[in-house]
A and B are shown apart, each in its own frame.
Chain A
Amino acid sequence: MEKKTCLYDRHVKLGAHMSPFGGFIMPIQYTNITDEHNAVRQHCGVFDVSHMGEVRITGPDAERYVQHIFTNDVAGAPVGQIYYGMMCYPNGGTVDDLLVYKMGENDFFLVINAANIDKDVAWMLEQKEGFDINLDHQSDYYGQLAVQGPEAEAVVEEVLGLPCKELKFYTAAPLQLPPWGESNSANPLPLGGGREGAPLIISRTGYTGEDGFEIYGSHDFTQKAWDKLIESDRCKPCGLGCRDTLRFEVGLPLYGDELSADISPIMAGLGIFVKLDKAEFIGKEALAEQKANGVAQKLVGIELADKAIPRHGYAVLTPEGEVIGEVTTGYHCLSVDKSVCMALVKTEYAKLGTELAVQIRKKVFPGTVVKKKFYDKHYKK
């Protein structure tokens, strides 16, 4: 049975179309994907992303442990800095992609994909031998909202009264509850979290290619914040349907599509998040070998001449009809009115400008290899 987030009843009341995703029953859309997509590109939208998992790593060896399991390099990072990267298997395949928040010296907050929570936590526990750390799985404690779009800063400041103007891109701050967020109900802080007793974490991050914030708090806080945002009428409730079209357009990967146990970050073109100059991390040797000698398959963007839509799993062909890959995600891109996809193809066909084709049902549609970013990000850095 799928789990429900703390906002489930509110989604149903708003008339959302609910569907299983990553072990949760989640809102896919409230009105329609196009309107919600455009709200985030042009104004502001709020997403319930409480399905995401959270793990707090503290203790004397916390930094050394994070360095061991994570491909990016957090050494010497300032408090508040956030890193995107992966956990990899020894063979370079991807366990998950995640965000690592440095909340203090030897205090890290890891945000992982809903569908991978059990697998990731088991993986992390397996790797902790020899490290003096406390690993606290906090997914059941935290709700999470993503407020995204060019008006997100004003909405978070003015509607929620949470200070966020000063936050730089990919940084986080602990926050106290605002007056409207105080609760009489017992609301225990998660173990290991809330170093200064701060029950909230806010970060300038997101998964849409727009400016925006992600806010982590108790279920009680998340419900109150959601209600304030919806009642303000200044931000549109947005479902996972447009979350996928938004992230896809700006070339952000989704675990299960563009990354998997079989797709390494190097194959996915995410080598910039793999710091091979680090002394050691799980998968380093395999990933270094892939980077040095090349990989058999690579993730590319493909733009079709026609409006037909390439979907996950469809075959990618040479113009002569030989199967050389598979679509990972595809849409009729809402912001640029083109049918495009990301696809994993044999490396010899991955060069920009290569003529390829995609099999869509009975027909074959010609396309061209293009950059994976179909629409430019609008981050506020």
Chain B
Amino acid sequence: MANFESGLYYSESHEYVRVEGEFGYIGISDYAQHALGNVVYVDMPEVDDEVTAGEEFGAVESVKAASDLIAPVSGTVVEVNEALEDEPELLNKDAFANWIIKVQLSDPAELDNLMDVEAYKAHCAE
């Protein structure tokens, strides 16, 4: 069964944001990695790219298919998780420890549009 981590903000398309000060760490939920199966490639943006809430910023690929990554919040990419370039399967091992990008939040008010863990659990159960 999927794990759910509290204290994070979740989107309907199964990305999460862990907020630390003015920065947000964006990744995919454990529920999402379960649904995807073995992750074999992560297509990530580059540092200094802008991401926009609700828009695609990359993709996670399983053997069978590519799934778009949708930014839950807007901001500027300040770091990408380079470990995923060589070991994309880290997302299967621990999706919450292995964030995909770190962004400087441009509009923290956007976090209000996201779900807390209880609401997200209910969303996954639908």
Q: In angstroms, how far is the closest chain B Cβ from the Cβ of A193?
A: 36
Tell me, rounded to whole Å, the shortest Cβ–Cβ distance linking B39 to chain A: 10
A83: interface (CB < 8 Å): no
What A residues does B59 contact at CB under 8 A? 361
Closest CB of chain B to A358's CB: distance in Å? 13
Q: Tell whether, in the assembled complex, residue B38 and residue A32 are in contact, meaning their CB atoms are under 8 Å apart.
A: yes
The secondary structure that dominates the A interface is mixed
> Taking the complex as formed, is A236 at the interface, i.e. its CB lies under 8 A from any CB of chain B?
no
In chain A, positions 225-269 with a C-beta closer than 8 Å to chain B are 241, 245
Q: How far is the CB of B49 from chain A (nearest CB, A)?
A: 10
Known A33-B63, A332-B61; judge A309-B41 contact (CB<8 A). Answer: yes
Q: Are A241 and B63 in contact (CB under 8 A)?
A: yes
* Interface size grouping (class) on chain B: 10 to 19
Contact B61 A241 (CB under 8 A): no
Task: State the CA gap A332–B64 with chains docked (Å).
Answer: 9
A334 proximal to B (CB < 8 A): yes
> Tally of A-B residue pairs with Cβ under 8 A?
41
Q: Are B63 and A331 in contact (CB under 8 A)?
A: yes
A332 and B43 in contact, given A32-B38, A34-B38 (Cβ under 8 angstroms)? no
Determine the residue in chain B with the shortest Cβ distance to A241. B64
Answer yes or no: B71 CB below 8 A from chain A CBs: no
Known contacts A332-B61, A361-B43, A361-B59: does B37 contact A309 (CB below 8 Å)? no
With A332-B63, A334-B63, A361-B59 known as contacts, the answer to whether A307 contacts B38 (CB < 8 A) is no
Interface membership of chain A positions 358-381, coded 1 if the CB is closer than 8 angstroms to chain B and 0 otherwise = 001101000000000000000000
Q: Which residues of B contact A32 (CB under 8 A)?
A: 37-38, 63
6 closest cross-chain pairs (CB), A and B: A33-B63, A332-B40, A32-B37, A309-B61, A34-B38, A307-B41
